[in-house]
A = this chain, B = another copy of it.
Amino acid sequence: MTDIKITSFTIRDLRFPTSLDSIGSDPMNLAGENALGYLQYHTDKGLIGTGFSFSNGQGNEVLCAGIRALAPRYIGRSLASIIADFGKTHRNLLSGQIRFMSPERGVMQLAANAVLNALWDLWAKVEGKPLWRLVADFTPEEFVKCIDFRYLTDAITPEEAIQMLKAQEADKKERLELALKNEAVPGYNTSIGWLGLSDEKVTENLQKALDEGFKHFKLKVGLGLEADRRRLGLVRKVAGPDAVIMTDVNQLWDVDEAIEYMPKLADFNLFFIEEPTSPDDILGHAKIRKALKPHGIGVATGEHVNNRVMFKQLLQAEALDALQLDALRLSGMNEILSVLLLAAKFGVPIVPHSGGAGMTELCSHISTIDFVVVSGKKSILEYTDHLHEAFVNPASMAPGSYHTSPTAPGYSTDVKEEYFDKFECPQGSFWKSPKGLEMLNDPWRGVLGEQTS
């Protein structure tokens, strides 16, 4: 069946106007849309491979242009020829004239991700399995063959990876059964804590999440000490002393600011501060982690960490208590598998970033793979309750706040057609409305404090 041939592609610019509800608002960006650069590979057998990558709205057409630059590379190709040496396919996709545009960072990275997601989705659909199961059924050798180890061998070699995966095979069957019973991936809740929400709305969301069985919560901070303490006090009071509370400041601080600020919140008993500073600052994160350790506060980052080389160093520098890989930023399952191996090697749990449309859908696969095949440990997965309804195979929470490991064939990437009628940009009905046009025509949307004349 892998002789299936890719014949053409379509790319669509899909933008959900989430900023209207303050969803995703943080101290660096008060108004973000959830937008997808959406790629479909059509085939000679009728199956469609779907992949997308994410942006926050403005400039999503640049992401689509990036996908358009890469997608033609597989037209006329059989799936078999693509996956025969998938690690090499990954390396070559990021090679050539595009290299000066940094295909391992930024737009071209996101674009490569959409392309690879579509290829993985197609493969899983061809095999009639959810993607996590396709990977779980790999031999260690097949798993490793999907990875380009370039730049990683000072931290992990293919041979070492195979040994690690073999060592996990002893109890793999038991973990697979837990996954099939939806007990693989505990969730935590971010919807309580968007920065733009009122205290009343935070309390309401929190109570709802508690009723649903959540025990882990995340709150945006960075509003200033008084407001942050008030909001944290509220959450701790409602959620109780045993709830795990995480904080997130979305890169607001310099290194020394983070070190000075966070101990003033230590009495709320916090698991970690997420993105305390620039995601590029490996040495800075290491310094912050060392300084906050005596205060019982950990450090997490990853949603803006561009590639495996950056994660490798964050681990080598002992900068992380939780590794928050982003399924829509790293280039495809190929690079994600390498980061899962790195995290397991260094003994750091993954807590994937999935606070945007489609992210939980993809991360349910990733966290299940990590549990069943790689680390063998359950890691918590972010859950936000918006926009799952737009997906053909939505992520969902099982009773007791566990994520359902996906059951439908593929990578859960397909979006329902009716959402394009409304939200495809610029021709969807919302974006042609006066409000939509006003949003599209504001070049400074989401930027604070720019004098614009």
A residues bordering B, Cβ < 8 Å? 28-29, 31-33, 54-59, 61-63, 65-66, 69-70, 72-73, 75-78, 81, 88-89, 92, 95-111, 150-154, 254-257, 277-278, 280-284, 287, 304, 306-307, 309-310, 312-313, 316-317, 443-453
| Given A62-B111, A150-B254, A151-B284, 4 further pairs, Cβ under 8 A | A32-B97, A58-B96, A101-B106, A283-B316
Q: In angstroms, how far is the closest chain B Cβ from the Cβ of A255?
A: 4
Q: Are A95 and B28 in contact (CB under 8 A)?
A: yes
A69 interface neighbour in B61, B97, B153, B284, Cβ under 8 Å = B61
Q: In angstroms, how far is the closest chain B Cβ from the Cβ of A157?
A: 10
Q: Are B153 and A97 in contact (CB under 8 A)?
A: no
* A107 partner residues in chain B, CB cutoff 8 A: 62, 66, 101-102, 106-108
A100 interface neighbour in B54, B89, B452, Cβ under 8 Å = B54
Q: In angstroms, how far is the closest chain B Cβ from the Cβ of A273?
A: 16
Q: In angstroms, how far is the closest chain B Cβ from the Cβ of A321?
A: 19
Q: Are A280 and B254 in contact (CB under 8 A)?
A: no
Taken together as a complex, chains A and B put the C-alpha atoms of A202 and B99 apart, in Å, by 25
Taken together as a complex, chains A and B put the C-alpha atoms of A307 and B310 apart, in Å, by 14
Q: In angstroms, how far is the closest chain B Cβ from the Cβ of A179?
A: 30
Q: Are B254 and A446 in contact (CB under 8 A)?
A: no
Taken together as a complex, chains A and B put the C-alpha atoms of A30 and B153 apart, in Å, by 25
Q: List 24 A-B contacts (CB under 8 A).
A: A28-B95, A56-B98, A59-B70, A61-B65, A65-B65, A66-B107, A81-B453, A89-B450, A92-B450, A95-B450, A96-B445, A97-B445, A101-B107, A102-B105, A102-B109, A106-B106, A106-B108, A151-B254, A151-B281, A278-B309, A280-B306, A281-B309, A281-B312, A284-B309
Q: Are B254 and A153 in contact (CB under 8 A)?
A: yes
Taken together as a complex, chains A and B put the C-alpha atoms of A59 and B62 apart, in Å, by 11
* A150 partner residues in chain B, CB cutoff 8 A: 254, 278
Q: In angstroms, how far is the closest chain B Cβ from the Cβ of A9?
A: 12
Q: In angstroms, how far is the closest chain B Cβ from the Cβ of A307?
A: 7
Q: Are B31 and A154 in contact (CB under 8 A)?
A: no
Q: Are B306 and A99 in contact (CB under 8 A)?
A: no
Taken together as a complex, chains A and B put the C-alpha atoms of A70 and B62 apart, in Å, by 11
Q: Are B99 and A278 in contact (CB under 8 A)?
A: no
Q: Are A92 and B282 in contact (CB under 8 A)?
A: no
Q: In angstroms, how far is the closest chain B Cβ from the Cβ of A249?
A: 13
**CB-nearest residue of chain B relative to A314?**
B283
* A105 partner residues in chain B, CB cutoff 8 A: 102, 105-106, 280, 306
Q: In angstroms, how far is the closest chain B Cβ from the Cβ of A284?
A: 7
Taken together as a complex, chains A and B put the C-alpha atoms of A72 and B450 apart, in Å, by 14
A62 interface neighbour in B65, B78, B317, B445, Cβ under 8 Å = B65
Q: In angstroms, how far is the closest chain B Cβ from the Cβ of A330?
A: 13
Q: Are B443 and A284 in contact (CB under 8 A)?
A: no
A154 interface neighbour in B58, B103, B284, B309, Cβ under 8 Å = B284
A310 in contact with B97 given A92-B447, A102-B107, A102-B304 (CB within 8 Å): no
Q: Are A110 and B104 in contact (CB under 8 A)?
A: no
A256 interface neighbour in B63, B100, B153, B451, Cβ under 8 Å = B153
Taken together as a complex, chains A and B put the C-alpha atoms of A452 and B72 apart, in Å, by 11
* A110 partner residues in chain B, CB cutoff 8 A: 101
Q: In angstroms, how far is the closest chain B Cβ from the Cβ of A23?
A: 13
Q: Are A313 and B106 in contact (CB under 8 A)?
A: no
Q: Are A106 and B97 in contact (CB under 8 A)?
A: no
A56 interface neighbour in B78, B97, B106, Cβ under 8 Å = B97
Q: Are B254 and A443 in contact (CB under 8 A)?
A: no
A306 interface neighbour in B33, B92, B102, Cβ under 8 Å = B102
